[in-house]
Amino acid sequence: MSNHDELPRPIADPVIEGAPLASEPAARPGPATAAAAAAASPASGAVAYEPLLAEFAREYLRDRRSERRWRLVFRLFWLLALVFAAWLLLYPPHLHRPSNNTPHTALVEVRGEIAADTEASAELILSALKDAFEDPGSQAVVLRINSPGGSPVQAGIVYDEIQRLKALHGKKVFAVVEEMCASGAYYIAAAADEIYVDKASVVGSIGVLMDGFGFTGLMGKLGVERRLLTAGENKGMLDPYSPVSPKQQAFAQAMLNQIHQQFIAVVREGRGKRLKETPEMFSGLFWNGEQAVKMGLADEFGNLDYVAREVVKAEEVIDYTPRENVAERLAKRFGAALGEGAVKAARGGLSMR
């Protein structure tokens, strides 16, 4: 063989182009190779992150659309709520079912504190009483009472109106006591022809009180000085931040005694000979229903159904009590009555409780 003849080369193992052999160390990239890789990397990164950015954009748009939809739903809800509240104010629901002249027992509820701007205010009770008496189908009126009392003025207005309506329409009034009929509530019940109680009902508390607070001692300890200017020596009477004047205290006590006597006179007039007076009867004490019947403060045991069925003889009961609508309740809850309790505590007040 000549030197020009070439021996056959061995067949090399297949390798990926550009990849170093396993037996050879990886060659360091030269400057040209590094520059080329750096130039190519941004383009490959953009290609890798493009689907991610697109997905993020789609999710963002979906969230924005969902947020807009919920915002519209809430706006629509509040609009409907406002329309509903306005409708209730302009067109309140019926205060009671029409009787169509069918014989029935008329019901008027006396619940909670008897005071202006409450469910047991004279204004609301009188409105219900007039409707009940004027309905030709009502055979009698039942006052269902569950109240600790309240304003003697409000109670007196209701008592006088019951007496007037009884004489005008010739219908009887029955009081049915649930848990409590005390003080001003009993003042109203005394106008009824008969009073029915449960054995465990609380009845009585025939008395008058005027409550308040005195802060003069505390103010002295804190170094606070009360500066009260009045035109009229009694204009600041019973001011909780000033010392009690014996003269003013005696005047207030005399006024309470007069109102107490008015209360006693009403009870005696309403109960008549049924009343079995004792020295404690008008002292402000209260009794359970069983004791009240024995003392003549009540007549018999019975509830509303019993009185309607067995006494009035008209088993169907129709409620004439006015009911506050939703808008009125919200206005009272969140409106001007917010600090009423604190103001009452500071100022004190006259009540039958």
Q: Is residue 303 part of a domain?
A: yes
**Statement: residue 193 has pLDDT above 70:** yes
Tell me the C-alpha distance between 127 and 95, whole Å. Answer: 10
- Answer whether residue 349 is part of any domain: no
Give me the phi and psi of 246, to 5 degrees please.
-55, -35
Question: Are 168 and 87 in the same domain?
Answer: no
* 324 domain-assigned: yes
Q: Are 307 and 105 contacting, i.e. CB atoms less than 8 angstroms apart? A: yes
Assess whether pLDDT exceeds 60 at residue 41: no
Query: How many domains are contained in the chain?
Result: 2
- Whether 155 shows a pLDDT value over 60: the answer reads yes
> Do residues 201 and 180 touch, judged by C-beta distance below 8 A?
yes
- pLDDT of 134 strictly over 90: yes
Average pLDDT over residues 97-123: 88
Least confident of 55-69, 133-147, 292-306, 338-352: 338-352
Three-state SS at 286: strand
Same-domain status, 136 and 243: yes
The pLDDT of residue 39: 45
Are residues 258 and 189 part of one domain?
A: yes
Write the CA distances from 22 to 14, 18, 90, 212, integer angstroms: 12, 12, 92, 101
Q: What is the mean pLDDT of residues 211-225?
A: 76
H/E segment holding residue 210 = strand 209-211
Note the residue count of the chain.
353
Are 130 and 187 in the same domain? yes
Which carries the bigger pLDDT value, residue 2 or residue 262? Answer: 262
Helix or strand or coil: residue 58?
helix
Across 28-41, average pLDDT: 47
81 and 175 assigned to the same domain: no
pLDDT band at 126 (very low <50, low <70, confident <90, very high): very high
Rounded average pLDDT over 150-159? 96
pLDDT, the chain, mean? 80
Tell me whether residue 224 is in a domain: no
Which range of 29-38, 129-138, 317-326 scores highest in mean pLDDT? It is: 129-138
Q: Are residues 87 and 133 in the same domain?
A: no
pLDDT band at 48 (very low <50, low <70, confident <90, very high): low
Are residues 193 and 118 part of one domain? yes
Domain that holds residue 68: 58-93
